[in-house]
Chains A and B, each alone.
Chain A
């Protein structure tokens, strides 16, 4: 085992004076803020990896006088818990990031959509919010933030379902286009960013895009906070430089017996040991919102898959056919194969179905169920069948 550690970084949790950053922003031209973000190559940290600067530029160019900033703090991906830590330790930076985005696009109102299970954070967030609003007043900035609590539906992390939820409706994804940059919350142009992304924007505004770009690779700039769990002696939250291979990661965080790593939670990919070396954690390899789950040889990959499918079967919003019924069929299907009621060829049918789900589902949830399913079935077929 190599003793080489993956590079630790301390930007996200670094205690800084947000006031100073805000003060700097107040006098900046909105366009300059967008350009700085574009220059940084920052990609959204929720998992999808859309260039943040581009998102801001699109929204800034919309003519509507009313626009919104939404912070997606509905951290629901199994195995992810890093946003909770960010909100707990540096909440001021999150609000600061929202204010920067607000300035960049011309929004006067921001919402934090907080995962229902993180309700305990509210007193602390409110206290911080009070200070933030005072600072805004002091700088004559007309920008306000409200906190909205989710009710525990995984789908409400999907941006358009999240808007529906804030609007008081049932959390179901909308048809796209139109995209949020054009028609988001309350039908207005909206920037929606993940907690970590917003904090990164603060650091970029503080230290500059070039500083941010010193870390990571061409496709995956900067650092990223990971929630590491499973069969590891070092479970927890770590900020690491992007661009490492799974092999490097496992050398550092594994327990010496790691047979697979699930990168990106239930909706991400399962990387088997034989692919550790060739797989880069980042947008050029396996993208992730931050969840890293390690499995050692004591784990049944059938159980892992079953667990994920059970999760999706329950958490699909149920609106579109491929996702609602597809999830149930994948779950019942692997159970039937396991019990011997269907022969092993049936797995091939299910893999085809997973492809249809990826292609035909309405939103990211249904489209990503096939990731875990395909990668686990493909790499651990024997464990699924026998």
Chain B
């Protein structure tokens, strides 16, 4: 333990604690900008400088460990003057056109300026001198250098959490910028569109491409029938953006709000999550049969999930040799879109060209996914517009809907009924768990041997997790699986996905089935979810997801009556001709920069 004093008050903290954390313990908040709980220490912005008595210069509280007898002042004259200077300097380099900024009111730099009553405009506006263009080429991410304060949080996110390194620092001095390989647009580089950089950018330099106005246009167009689908993780994230505690479950209010916004039908991505389980589960069992019974050397195992478009793009760039291993299933979002323009239109007697499909996603990569040229199997664009959780919150605010006073409502039918298995798609390990609940039962006729269907070994926050289920006493048609130990692996965050795939490559990790979610802690930590994010917030969202699962009447995908219905009336059988045409896709090898 180390003894020190902060603003004259004595405190004892463990060795290795930073001054920032020691001060927090004493309820002294030191402002920060480049610091983020999820990332390594940078000490770049210098907003957190404090005075250490006896030291020549001020020290960065975020980057300095405590030492015995240290005397720290967090609000001395020297500190105040330096801090004010630093904030003024950042503002002088920043395009402070705040009223027109997407992040207006949610910007960390703006908050700091408020706190320090910066209004003197001491320094010369450097922003007007430099020639900036906004990168709007990516369908998911918009990058505006004029708002960048070079804290490098995005760079550290892309490197440490995702191992993608699409963003990096280039040039020095006044030319220093955050950019990409050869200054290409975000659309042309290895960027997976995961949006984790957006979640950690303190200003409006990195934001999602918004399609709010386009969606309003179609909603308000009487000739259009607009269906909206909402992803599992949105229901445990949306509340935060509307002033509720992290982890608030707002499914009913969200449905109610969407109806008030004027969507013609409010449906659930969870329905196609259940459908994904049927298709993907059957695909896995088919691959296992080919491998174990037919001894087909061509069959690609382990099979990996394909729900996360960030992961799909990552594997296309980074491990293209494993593309045959990726499940051919479209993601639930895309399956939904394809069915909206076929099955749904048919049942509702609508002309598919008048059906507009909108999805609300916790994800920015979904915007990219919807734009992929493969995703038009119905003859129309499967999904027309993708909005993030944040954008939906904004629509609700714009429409003047008092969210917190809304009564709960239920999803419409058809394609609105879902199971608990589908809800947990929102958490890391969820797809795996949902698939096991169904696959095990198909094969053995019994429920998975875990208490309350909760397959806890695949849950948790560990970056890479492995689990296995022993398959015994199979039904006759699956007898080839008797005695097979079904091995699963789960990874979340692309840096872990890389570890997992390298493990598969080297043979260190043996698996039949792999689930990967591009974002830390899965979709509930997605790039389109409310900001800020940190481990504690994501843990609360996780708890909410599993609570939602437990509250559902149906907990297994194959027991969803609408799923049973769609196979009976429309699709035929999993992996059948129609499924193949509408619900499955293929992948493309991409460059590595």
| Chain A hits for B86, CB < 8 A | 321-322, 356, 360
Binds B, one of A55-63, A200-208, A228-236, A325-333: A325-333
Given contacts A313-B173, A316-B176, A328-B93, 5 further A-B contacts (CB under 8 A): A170-B169, A322-B85, A325-B90, A329-B124, A361-B46
Query: Is the pair B57, A367 in contact by a Cβ cutoff of 8 Å?
Result: yes
Q: Does B45 contact A (CB under 8 A)?
A: yes
What are 30 A-to-B residue pairs whose CB atoms are below 8 Å?
A170-B169, A172-B169, A312-B173, A314-B173, A314-B174, A315-B172, A316-B174, A317-B173, A318-B176, A319-B150, A321-B44, A321-B89, A321-B90, A321-B149, A322-B86, A324-B93, A324-B176, A325-B89, A325-B126, A327-B173, A327-B174, A328-B174, A329-B123, A332-B124, A332-B129, A360-B57, A360-B85, A360-B86, A361-B57, A362-B46
> Of residues 354 to 378 in A, which have CB atoms within 8 Å of B's CB atoms?
356, 358-362, 367
| Chain B hits for A356, CB < 8 A | 81-82, 85-86
**Chain B 131-157: CB-based contact to A (< 8 A → 1; otherwise 0):** 000000000000000000110100000
Q: Does B436 contact A (CB under 8 A)?
A: no
Of A332, A349, A359, chain B has the most CB atoms within 10 Å of the CB of: A359
Q: Does A353 contact B (CB under 8 A)?
A: yes
Q: Does A286 contact B (CB under 8 A)?
A: no
* Residues of B in contact with A (beta carbons under 8 Å apart): 41, 43-47, 49, 57-58, 60, 63-65, 78, 81-82, 85-86, 89-90, 92-93, 122-124, 126, 129, 149-150, 152, 168-169, 171-176
Query: Is the pair B124, A321 in contact by a Cβ cutoff of 8 Å?
Result: no
Query: Is the pair B46, A321 in contact by a Cβ cutoff of 8 Å?
Result: yes
Give the CA-CA distance A327 to B64 in the complex, in Å. Answer: 25
Q: Does A153 contact B (CB under 8 A)?
A: yes
Question: Which 5 A-B residue pairs are closest in the complex by CB-CB distance?
Answer: A318-B176, A325-B89, A175-B63, A356-B85, A175-B43
| Chain A hits for B89, CB < 8 A | 321-322, 325-326, 329
* B interface: dominant SS: loop
* Residues of A in contact with B (beta carbons under 8 Å apart): 153, 155, 170, 172, 175, 177, 312-322, 324-329, 332-333, 336, 349, 352-353, 356, 358-362, 367
Query: Is the pair A360, B172 in contact by a Cβ cutoff of 8 Å?
Result: no
Give the CA-CA distance A73 to B45 in the complex, in Å. Answer: 30
* A interface: dominant SS: helix
Give the CA-CA distance A56 to B459 in the complex, in Å. Answer: 51
Chain B, Cβ-Cβ closest to A349: B122
Measured CB to CB, the closest approach of chain A to B382, in angstroms, equals: 42
| Chain B hits for A316, CB < 8 A | 172-174, 176
Give the CA-CA distance A332 to B174 in the complex, in Å. Answer: 12
Chain A, Cβ-Cβ closest to B55: A359
Query: Is the pair B174, A322 in contact by a Cβ cutoff of 8 Å?
Result: no
Of B46, B58, B152, B169, chain A has the most CB atoms within 10 Å of the CB of: B46
Measured CB to CB, the closest approach of chain B to A260, in angstroms, equals: 26
Of B41, B81, B150, B174, chain A has the most CB atoms within 10 Å of the CB of: B174
Query: Is the pair B57, A358 in contact by a Cβ cutoff of 8 Å?
Result: yes
Query: Is the pair B172, A153 in contact by a Cβ cutoff of 8 Å?
Result: yes
Give the CA-CA distance A361 to B85 in the complex, in Å. Answer: 12
Given contacts A177-B65, A353-B85, A356-B85, contact A318 B171 (CB under 8 A): yes
| Chain B hits for A177, CB < 8 A | 64-65
Given contacts A317-B172, A320-B45, A321-B45, contact A360 B58 (CB under 8 A): yes
Query: Is the pair A359, B82 in contact by a Cβ cutoff of 8 Å?
Result: yes
| Chain B hits for A359, CB < 8 A | 49, 57-58, 78, 82
Query: Is the pair B82, A360 in contact by a Cβ cutoff of 8 Å?
Result: yes
Given contacts A359-B78, A362-B60, contact A336 B172 (CB under 8 A): no
| Chain A hits for B171, CB < 8 A | 318
Measured CB to CB, the closest approach of chain B to A361, in angstroms, equals: 7
Chain A, Cβ-Cβ closest to B123: A329
Give the CA-CA distance A349 to B169 in the complex, in Å. Answer: 31
Give the CA-CA distance A363 to B60 in the complex, in Å. Answer: 12
Give the CA-CA distance A62 to B47 in the complex, in Å. Answer: 33
| Chain B hits for A321, CB < 8 A | 44-47, 86, 89-90, 149-150
Given contacts A321-B90, A362-B43, contact A328 B126 (CB under 8 A): yes
| Chain B hits for A315, CB < 8 A | 172-173
| Chain B hits for A327, CB < 8 A | 173-174
Give the CA-CA distance A255 to B86 in the complex, in Å. Answer: 43
Which of A170, A314, A329 is the one whose CB lies under 8 Å from B92? A329
Query: Is the pair B57, A325 in contact by a Cβ cutoff of 8 Å?
Result: no
Measured CB to CB, the closest approach of chain A to B87, in angstroms, equals: 9
| Chain A hits for B124, CB < 8 A | 329, 332-333, 336
Chain A, Cβ-Cβ closest to B93: A325
| Chain A hits for B174, CB < 8 A | 313-314, 316, 318, 324, 327-328
Query: Is the pair A324, B46 in contact by a Cβ cutoff of 8 Å?
Result: no
Chain A, Cβ-Cβ closest to B170: A170
Chain B, Cβ-Cβ closest to A172: B169
Give the CA-CA distance A315 to B63 in the complex, in Å. Answer: 24
Chain A, Cβ-Cβ closest to B91: A325
Give the CA-CA distance A322 to B92 in the complex, in Å. Answer: 12
Query: Is the pair A324, B150 in contact by a Cβ cutoff of 8 Å?
Result: yes
Measured CB to CB, the closest approach of chain A to B155, in angstroms, equals: 10
Given contacts A317-B176, A318-B173, contact A360 B49 (CB under 8 A): yes
| Chain B hits for A175, CB < 8 A | 41, 43, 60, 63-64
Query: Is the pair A360, B46 in contact by a Cβ cutoff of 8 Å?
Result: yes
| Chain A hits for B85, CB < 8 A | 322, 326, 352-353, 356, 360
| Chain B hits for A333, CB < 8 A | 123-124
Give the CA-CA distance A375 to B385 in the complex, in Å. Answer: 61
Give the CA-CA distance A170 to B129 in the complex, in Å. Answer: 26
| Chain A hits for B43, CB < 8 A | 175, 320, 362
Give the CA-CA distance A322 to B46 in the complex, in Å. Answer: 8
